[in-house]
Amino acid sequence: MNKTININLAGVFFHIDEDAFIKLDKYLKAIETYLAKEESKDEILQDIEARIAELFTESMAHKNQVVNSIQVNDMIAIMGEPEAYKIDDEEEPTSNSSKFRPSRKLYRDIDRNYIGGVSAGLNYYLGLNTFLIRLIWVASAFFSFGATVAIYIILWIVIPAANTTSQKLDMQGEPVNLTNIEKKVKESYSKFADKVGGIDYDKYGQQTKSGLTRFFDGLGDVLKAIGVFISKFLGVILLIISSLVLVGLLIFLFSFGTISVFELGDFNKMELFSLGIPYWIQVILFFLTAAIPFFYLLILSLKLLFSNLKSIGKISHITLMGIWILCVIVITTLGIKKQLEVSYDGEVVEVSALNIATTDTLRVKMNPNLMFDENINQRRQQKIVKDDTNSSKLYSSNVYVNFRTSNDDELKVRVTKKGFGSSENLARERASLIEYDYKLENSVLKLDNYFLTTPEFAKQKVKVEITVYIPEQQIIYLDKNLMDFSRIRNFKRSDYNTYLGYEENIWKPLDSIYKNKSIN
């Protein structure tokens, strides 16, 4: 009794004895090794399979006859030994490689496909359950909002379908996993050890040269196996990194892209990266610039892992490269344009004299507005607030206070509003949009610790500088809340909230002045 196997040769169905099948399989595998360097290997194999099918059909007495070893032998006699298929004689394949059963290759299984046969192919390759693989695809697509579908499509494109019988056999070959890679390394190592060990007892009289050659041959095998292991390992890491980044980028594309299309949410935080174009275009630009290199990284990692992948085609390469270069150019140009827009500074200055008797003590303090912000003692705060008329304003505490002595015995306040722009005029125009206030009440100079302006200036170079010119004979009292807004030469923390007088070109606490005077 003999077990039979069903096979499909070039679309024709055959029952074949198990031993005859093994012989046929070996034969086709051997031919494939001989044709390994041939450009249209698959096509040639298909032609050969078609001819074999024809020979089997001719030799069969009736339709349901089983193909046996004799028929396979007859076929080989007609077709010739595998060596006959080789056209060029540059190098004979070594006896090892013809016996060597090629390790499992990744193909798409188009006989068991739901969509592209990717999962069924991975099932053979990884030895994982097909249902589990499909479940992982569906679940990951669900959790990544469909982003992993892109990865599936890439795999669909680059993994070839298993068309010929030999490709189908390759697809089902030895699984590629750590144990098998380890086995390969061990096998080649023991071969190496045999060769090296052979020097000692095998052929004593042989020249050392041949021993050395064998040593390096063996060493080469081991290094090759280690190299394969390293490249696969690198491939796995690159595959994980690139696919995770791609999925992340796709999620970024879908979430930010759609939100900004419908103008939901507050995008003030993104203002910094704004290129002055609609957000959704900008999101797509950033996405493509980042995603295309990672797409290539993904392809590279797949190529490292699977030797039999198809190319995505010259046109796709050129298109992708073109798109990427275009995106980089657009982003750079817009970035430079944006930079030029803020390259000029412009300022608006207002000076006014205030009335105060020289006998009065001048108190100076910052005047916070709790309506807008509670961090009243901090500079460089920026946020969008609503003003009295309920319109949006940019609130900024980028205010700086300077103290100088007045040269004409008058208390004066100089307010400098600074703006930005692509020209000095524009910068000045923008500076004039800054609203800043201060007032003198009962000898107390109250300086607002903030200014308001239009929300478009968020994260831009807008600020207010105040210089207070104080008459020399005035006694002053600086409030502690000035500390963060002004830096005064030779001033200590204890000099705030203290009465100060002017002497020897600096403001000093009164008690130290009196002390000096009493000494004199």
Partner 1 sequence: MKIENTKAQMRKGVLEYCILSVLSHDDAYVAEILETLKSAKLLVVEGTIYPLLTRLKNAKLLSYRWEESTGGPPRKYYGLTDEGKEFLSELSETWLELNYAVTKITSKNKTNDE
Q: Which residues bind partner 1 (CB under 8 A)?
A: 9-12, 31, 35, 38-40, 43-44, 47-48, 50-51, 53-54, 57-58, 77-82, 84-87, 89
In whole angstroms, the minimum distance from the beta carbon of 299 to partner 1 comes to 26
- Ramachandran sector of residue 265 (left: φ over 0; alpha: ψ -120 to 50; beta: rest): left
Dihedrals phi, psi of 152, to nearest 5 degrees? -60, -45
Residues near 296 by Cβ (< 8 Å), separated by ≥ 6? 320
Judged by beta carbon, residue 13 or residue 216, the one nearer partner 1 is 13
Smallest distance, partner 1 to C-beta of residue 291, A? 36
Using an 8 Å Cβ cutoff, are 16 and 4 in contact? yes
- Residues 6+ positions from 229 with CB-CB distance below 8 Å: 181, 185
CB of 95 to partner 1, least distance (A): 16
Cα end-to-end span (Å), the chain: 131
Q: How many Å apart are CA 426 and CA 278, to the nearest integer?
A: 23
The nearer residue to partner 1, 47 or 174, going by C-beta atoms, is 47
Cβ at position 24, least distance to partner 1 in Å: 14
Q: How far is the CB of 237 from partner 1 (least distance, A)?
A: 38
Give the C-alpha distances (Å, rounded to integers) separating 392 from 363, 382, 385, 452: 33, 13, 6, 10
The order of strands in the sheet holding 438-441 is 438-441, 444-448, 361-367, 475-478, 499-503, 506-509
Give the length of the chain. 520
SS3 50: helix
Nearer to partner 1 by Cβ, of 40 and 332: the residue is 40
- Looking at the Cβ atoms of 25 and 341, the one nearer to partner 1 is 25
Distance CA 203, CA 194 (A): 13
The answer to whether the beta carbons of residues 348 and 420 sit under 8 Å apart is: no
In the complex with partner 1, which residue's Cβ is closer, 88 or 374? 88
| Residue 80 vs 276, nearer CB to partner 1 | 80
- Least Å from the CB of residue 47 to partner 1: 5
Nearer to partner 1, 44 or 228 (CB): 44
Looking at residue 136, the DSSP 8-state letter turns out to be H
Residues near 495 by beta carbon (within 8 Å), at least 6 away in sequence = 478, 488, 507, 508, 509
Q: Residue 109 CB, nearest distance to partner 1 (Å)?
A: 22
375: nearest Cα among 238, 253, 481:
481
d(C-alpha 40, C-alpha 108), whole Å: 19
Q: Taking the alpha carbons of 93, 95, 101, 104 in that order, is the dihedral positive or negative?
A: negative
The tokens for 31 are: 């031919």
SS3 label, residue 493: helix
Task: Determine the number of helices (DSSP H) and then strands (DSSP E) in the chain.
Answer: 14, 16
Q: Least distance in Å: CB of 172 to partner 1? A: 23
Give the H or E element holding residue 106: none
* CA dist., res. 520 & res. 518, Å (int): 5
In the DSSP assignment, the letter for residue 309 is: P
Distance CA 190, CA 7 (A): 37
In the complex with partner 1, which residue's Cβ is closer, 58 or 504? 58
Looking at the Cβ atoms of 92 and 360, the one nearer to partner 1 is 92
Minimum CB separation of residue 77 from partner 1 in Å reads 8
Provide, rounded to whole angstroms, the least separation between the CB of residue 87 and partner 1: 5
* Residue where the block lists tokens 């700086």: 400
Q: Which is nearer to partner 1, 47 or 271 (CB)?
A: 47
CB of 57 to partner 1, least distance (A): 5
Q: Residue 38 or residue 435: which is nearer to partner 1 going by CB? A: 38
Q: Which is nearer to partner 1, 74 or 341 (CB)?
A: 74
Query: At closest approach, how far in Å is the CB of 83 from partner 1?
Result: 9
